[in-house]
Structure 1
């Protein structure tokens, strides 16, 4: 195994052992919270990254965990103060809180949702733990201790990351933006040559995924160090430029389906020459700008000239990203060109289902625990809260629940070995205890960065059932209760996910496609402020979500991309300015919005038919006001697409 592959296991082992040593050295009440936090922060980030995580990612996750813990502790104290005399109401309010947190976290950015999910189950864990111990009056002390132990675990994880050569993402970003531009040029070569559409689909889909990943890399870089602040605006605009290059290339391909002579011969010959690196593209752009200047705008296809402008801006910003130099005047003009518009989330029903799942699972578990007095109930409740809060936000919550279940099943024999054999023989020596737990952490680290299913759950579950209290008490019956409660909690969470099915997938797909339609329709405007708004990042974010929700459904991707192209072309079209057209634009937007918000297929069909009829009237108005061909052609193309795919847009 290469040395760099051992860096993360060493880092994870150091973080866990440092948290363990501090917990026992300073006589913390429950050192296992610090140890578990160090394992979750370091291990969870590595599992998501599929290897040694970048330092910015680890610090970001650590900060979110601190924020979520504080919010959860405050919520737990507020609920307990208000309902101290009614335990049932107290637990139900915590379940409602957890459900609301999961619901809201499903609507916000994935990288920030972790804090809200953690806030939801932290409050429930505090209340459950205090009820199980019968010391509700010690809630403030327990909340402070839990926050302190979690902060210690996070600091240990970050310190381990800093000591063992933190992996900076800057070099990866430099390589990726270079490689991305080369592949953008190759996509344009495929589109100009008008090769098989399956080959083009594969190429642009890969570029969309890589461009979206570049946005996540920017977030990690900003968390890594303050010296990269000049790169942040450049990467934001570079993300938009990359999407623009994809859009212009694909529009070139689509136009050639109906106009085979769209690209002049001199440009076809130019794009036949292969490129190997960014330096080659830089030379080509200089030549292209001269050719376009000589040929004139009438003899140059709009998509090619727009593509060259976007590629030139890309090269300008890329140089600044590599050097991290001061932002120049030319860069300032590119950075401030268009304000980026954010789009409302489309997964509102999916988020509601997630919240309901969390509430139902935790509420049923709470009532069953209070009714039966089951000694393992607190452990089961903790796992129910954790899984339903964290798994629901994932693209495949069922697999996350299975991962936890497999891990907890493995944790029972592994924990038994440590609890009944290893730890009783090492409790007199801190060194032997560190060696025993360090061996488990090191092996787990190797498996975690390989994304071995169940590994992270087994590590966290084993640490949890070992208790690691100060002083240690080896009570086999209590150990078996905790282990059984964990496994049953995971199993019940899996059942809840299976029984409360999420049927919102088709609805989300239809909503997303209709939003693409609305974006294309709303691009027809004479409002200069609206025309300057940059919807491209939001539209491609929705496209990326569509690709994740419907993997392999290339027809949906093509329709979405066609509507994005229509939006960009109509946004740049020189629509005649008069009050009649402005009023009709507003009417078109109103009808398109009613298509999205319609409560039934029948109403949606009626509104869509009205929209198609209004498009016919609008095309007549454009002829009446002698609109240019650059306006009438994209409008006619959009109307044709809407008629062709009306069944898909009405019912997915």
Structure 2
């Protein structure tokens, strides 16, 4: 497709990127910075990175948030570099190797924290390495260099943010409003499917799509929160709406599952009620009004618990949705909903994956160090920097290999583009600031369009080209230096790709097993008589883990069904009226300890031993429930959980 067939917002972002780069260039030379290149490079990466991730113009606040992460990462990296230099200034080789370990440590941390915050830690890792490599010839100038680097990066970030504000950033609020309505309609459609008890594949597709959309809505909430502080009330409501959407999915799927054994629970009257079509959120609102009238006549005890809970959650969803759309003051009823439960954060299941990322980054940086010292190549330091940059930023993403290939393609493309600018454009325009700015603006404009298309190598080409062309003060033109710098980037990306390919990531099966065992632990942990523990809401954390399972094992319906069944068991046991006495309370704690040991078990033998112990304890627990005359609302879910764990014992305990 030609450039003129692209949507207007694509052209607008290309102009925005060009403006950010030109503004950073002008400010850098105006204030006579020693290396304005860093300000220009920072502006380009901060502006183009979110556009590449979004596949179009980023939402308002995304560039600003990325800029803040870059500032945090730069300052952490500078402090780490200064500390390493002060402690190890007398042992240069050891100092560089320790810095390689620091880069690996930051990659390890970035693999465990939230995805949106991982950029700061990856940046902190390679920033320290850049500083330590650069000051090898004059270590006493480290503080001055660190301050200059921070100043240049802050200038670049400010320029990117100013350009974003000048060209009307897109607000995500209207998109959220539309998605809230569409999500409610599709929740109703899922409940219709489950009550009809039709094709299981259709139900699987419907609930997995709703899980992904609910996760995407939570990402939109994060963008809205970054956009402006005036959306604080909407942000609180959207957090609760995320939980309510997941609750609706869970109740609908449980309605489907209980019909496998007890189809008589769903009466013909309820089947007829859910036969009514609903095309809009207003149609769903009318249906919910009818259902609430029926429930006021029949009462909770004569209604299946899943339907009663679904109607209540959908009603709360509607109330909070109206508050988000109008961004009105939070009412007393809304405040009760928002403060009703304490949301528990998910514990990372990717610790083994994080350790592999640590070794990938550390080993690649150490190989770069040995290559640099062995060859004595002047641009070996540049190769080391590219190794650190690629491995630090690639590891957290779902496909590190493709990220490394993207950087490699970018550095290859930067060689002819950079040569054209270095040999023709910049020498002809260095006497005119206006012409220099225009030439870089044209480059940024066309690459900005390609970045939004997620063209392979486009983002890497933009960063690599700016890095190798002469944008220092004063400008010097030595072709051998340019060629060395360009080849250094190329070699660095190649070494990083080789390390990623050779150090295989074998953590997928282990991560999947840990995730499933976390679902088991959550179901067991819901058996408690502690009031505070019963108020803890694990549902967002469980679905976050389920979403990770969807990404790790796309198309594996058996794992998804098992995970969803365990989530349903957790929700049902959490609400079950467990008898309150010391005997059961002590046994609850014992089962939780066994479940924790199951998750942390390091071998199949230990895992099987703890799993068998957990099954034995569940059998004893069922006997205790019979002794204490627990109601069927408790005994039946516990019996289903024990049966399910026996059925899937092999999948939950053995390495695959």
What TM-score range do you get, normalising by the shorter chain?
Answer: over 0.9
Specify the alignment match of 1:89 in structure 2.
94
Counterpart Cα distance in 1 of 2:333 and 2:167 = 40
> What SS is found at the alignment partner of 2:498?
helix
Indicate whether 1:646 and 2:649 are aligned: yes
Specify the alignment match of 1:476 in structure 2.
479
Specify the alignment match of 2:53 in structure 1.
48
Counterpart Cα distance in 1 of 2:341 and 2:114 = 22
Aligned-residue CA RMSD (Å):
1.2
Q: Once the two structures are superposed, what CA deviation does each residue of 1:280-311 show, in whole Å capped at 9, x if it has no partner?
A: 11121111111112112232110000001101
Indicate whether 1:434 and 2:437 are aligned: yes
How much does 1:340 deviate? Answer: 0.7
The answer as to whether partners of 2:587 and 2:621 remain within 8 angstroms in 1 is: yes
Q: How many residues get paired? A: 650
TM-score (norm 2): 0.97
The answer as to whether partners of 1:15 and 1:159 remain within 8 angstroms in 2 is: yes
Counterpart Cα distance in 2 of 1:467 and 1:377 = 19
Counterpart Cα distance in 1 of 2:531 and 2:634 = 16
How much does 1:621 deviate? Answer: 2.0
How much does 1:613 deviate? Answer: 2.1
Q: Once the two structures are superposed, what CA deviation does each residue of 1:301-358 show, in whole Å capped at 9, x if it has no partner?
A: 1000000110111111111111111111000100011101113211111111111111
Counterpart Cα distance in 2 of 1:389 and 1:587 = 41
Q: Once the two structures are superposed, what CA deviation does each residue of 1:592-624 show, in whole Å capped at 9, x if it has no partner?
A: 222222221122112212222222222222222
Gaps of 5+ in 2: none
> What SS is found at the alignment partner of 2:61?
helix
Indicate whether 1:540 and 2:543 are aligned: yes
Specify the alignment match of 1:121 in structure 2.
126
Counterparts of 1:284-323 in structure 2, within 5 Å, are: 284-323=287-326
Counterpart Cα distance in 2 of 1:603 and 1:388 = 34
How much does 1:585 deviate? Answer: 1.6
Q: Once the two structures are superposed, what CA deviation does each residue of 1:168-193 show, in whole Å capped at 9, x if it has no partner?
A: 11111111111111111111111111
Counterpart Cα distance in 2 of 1:588 and 1:69 = 46
The answer as to whether partners of 2:255 and 2:306 remain within 8 angstroms in 1 is: yes
Specify the alignment match of 1:383 in structure 2.
386
Counterparts of 1:118-517 in structure 2, within 5 Å, are: 118-131=123-136, 134-517=137-520
How much does 1:428 deviate? Answer: 1.8
Question: Of the candidates 3, 7, 18, which is equivalent to residue 8 of structure 2?
Answer: 3
Indicate whether 1:16 and 2:21 are aligned: yes
Q: Once the two structures are superposed, what CA deviation does each residue of 1:30-77 show, in whole Å capped at 9, x if it has no partner?
A: 111011111101101100111100121111111000111111111111
Counterpart Cα distance in 2 of 1:593 and 1:69 = 38
Indicate whether 1:597 and 2:600 are aligned: yes
Counterpart Cα distance in 2 of 1:81 and 1:373 = 25
Indicate whether 1:99 and 2:104 are aligned: yes
Counterpart Cα distance in 1 of 2:87 and 2:588 = 53
Counterpart Cα distance in 1 of 2:306 and 2:79 = 55
Indicate whether 1:627 and 2:640 are aligned: no
Indicate whether 1:77 and 2:85 are aligned: no
The answer as to whether partners of 1:88 and 1:367 remain within 8 angstroms in 2 is: no
How much does 1:463 deviate? Answer: 0.5
How much does 1:261 deviate? Answer: 2.0
Counterpart Cα distance in 2 of 1:86 and 1:485 = 25
Question: Of the candidates 566, 571, 575, which is equivalent to residue 568 of structure 1?
Answer: 571
Gaps of 5+ in 1: none
Counterpart Cα distance in 2 of 1:94 and 1:592 = 39
